[in-house]
Amino acid sequence: MGHVGQETRAPDAKHDRNGPASTSSHSPTERRGSAFLNFFSSFLGSKNPLAQAANPHKHTVWLFDNTAYQPVSEANQPPSGSWQAEIIACIFETEGRKDAGKWVAAIADHIGLDGELGGDKETRERLESRVQPFLDQVSPSRILTLETRINGAAHSHHIGPSDRNGIISQVIDLGAIGVYDGTIESPHIHGFPSPAAKAETRFAAPEGWMIISDIDDTIKRTMTMEPTGILRTTFAEEPVPIPGMPEFYRHVQYELNPAWFYLSASPYNLYPFLHAFLHEHYALGTLILRDYSWMDIGGLIKSFTEKTQEYKVDRMEKIHRWFPLRQVLCIGDSTQTDPEAYAEMYKRYPGWIHAIAIRKVTDVSNMEEKNEPERFEKAFKDIPDDAWIVFEDPKELYDFVDGLGMEDQDL
């Protein structure tokens, strides 16, 4: 996930998790001392001599889905056949989990649900389950063992240590000569039986189509321009797809058979929530989220709204390094800086991004200026008119994508 726009959560007494009494033999003072040591040693990076293995009895691990690629030389020479993948894992402490009650009450108050929660068990439970990952203490300086099985051959990879945000981000060599485009394998973290510690690796060849799609207000209703809307749709409501977009993405899958990347400014704590949403409504792919946590509600809003162009350009740079020969269709919306971010990458790497589609969001207030034609004309200056489209109804995009498919056949 990189390290743009982070807000570090240092383990201290103020942020200790005051949950039920732990069965650990260590005193609270000893646990705080250990947390401090792990946090500060995490700044030593991959050579951290104090890093320790994560413990299934003391830690929770999330393993993110990823896309394997074949490295291409700077001269864009054919790859050797070996595969690599960036492994993302998040590690949390399970001891002393902080009670979500006060945060649930604060969010409910912000969105006007406080008085209703007493009689709405389902909404309260939904709020608690989505808030809890923000409150669990991250676990720096931890090491994991990733187990893979490629073409029937088992391999183990030591990954880590986790950084100060409890995140491991590490490229591993999968070898796997003879694995082909579209293959799906299922790596897992050794010793952690939870489904969250299992993932899918999709193998994508150097050439072909690729979709880089935003999530919030592009394919999922989030109401990004309204702070209360963000809180309500993120924590209190069941996620709702943008009408027509699931059907359109199925059409894209059929026409282009692309590799899928979902690039969102949402914080990484929302991975289980967003992954489940994508699994239900859209083609699965790699979900890239911001390694930006928060200690208050204002911090969450900032994750969705601050420096989103810089963040997305940085992540697209990484995707370009993995797949410089792919043809890219970027899909976003007008609430934040998707037009500007996609246009920046279009101009930086001529021939990489072939098309850009921007959803003009009209079902959220205060969008008049962001939806002005002049805004899009400025963003897409010097980009051919037939390479970008602003749409309100996904039906407007079918011919646009069909044209890309025909273009592919002509190559």
**DSSP states of 264-288:** EEEEGGGHHHHHHHHHHHS---EEE
Whole-angstrom CA distances from 366 to 34, 224, 226, 305, 373 are: 48, 11, 9, 14, 15
**pLDDT tens digit string along 71-85?**
988 776 766 778 999
| Whole-angstrom distance, CA of residue 330 vs CA of residue 340 | 12
Whole-angstrom CA distances from 385 to 325, 379, 380 are: 23, 12, 8
pLDDT of residue 108: 86
Cα atoms in the 13 Å half-sphere on the side-chain side of 4: 22
Q: pTM of the predicted model, to two decimals?
A: 0.87
Sign of CA dihedral 365, 366, 370, 371: positive
| Whole-angstrom distance, CA of residue 337 vs CA of residue 86 | 26
Please report how the helices 101-110 and 121-135 are oriented relative to each other, as an axis angle in degrees rounded to 10.
110
Note down pLDDT in tens along the chain; length 411 residues: 543 333 334 333 333 333 333 334 444 444 444 554 454 444 455 566 678 999 999 999 999 999 999 998 877 676 677 899 999 999 999 986 777 888 888 888 888 886 665 568 888 899 999 999 988 999 999 999 999 998 888 999 999 999 999 999 999 999 867 888 999 999 999 999 999 999 999 999 999 999 999 999 999 999 999 889 999 999 999 999 999 999 999 999 999 999 999 999 999 999 999 999 999 999 999 999 998 666 567 777 777 778 899 999 999 999 999 999 999 999 999 999 999 999 999 999 999 999 999 999 999 888 999 999 999 999 999 999 999 999 999 999 999 999 997 776 554
The CA radius of gyration of the chain, in Å to the nearest whole number, is 22
Token pair 């489940």 is found at 276
**pLDDT tens digit string along 317-342?**
999 999 999 999 999 999 999 999 99
pLDDT of residue 42: 47
Q: Which residues of 228-237 are buried (b: 16+ CB within 10 A; e: fewer)?
A: ebbbbbbbbe
Give domain 209-410's CATH architecture.
Answer: 3-Layer(aba) Sandwich (3.40)
Q: Per-domain residue ranges for the chain? A: 13-40+55-97+136-203, 101-134, 209-410
Measured from the Cβ of residue 343, the count of other Cβ atoms closer than 10 Å reads 25
Give domain 13-40+55-97+136-203's CATH architecture.
Answer: Sandwich (2.60)
pLDDT of residue 296: 63
CB-based contact 162:91 (threshold 8 Å)? yes
Structure tokens at 277: 């949403």
CB-based contact 325:301 (threshold 8 Å)? no
For residue 224, report the phi and psi dihedrals to the nearest 5 degrees: -60, -30
How many residues does the structure list for the chain? 411
pLDDT of residue 38: 52
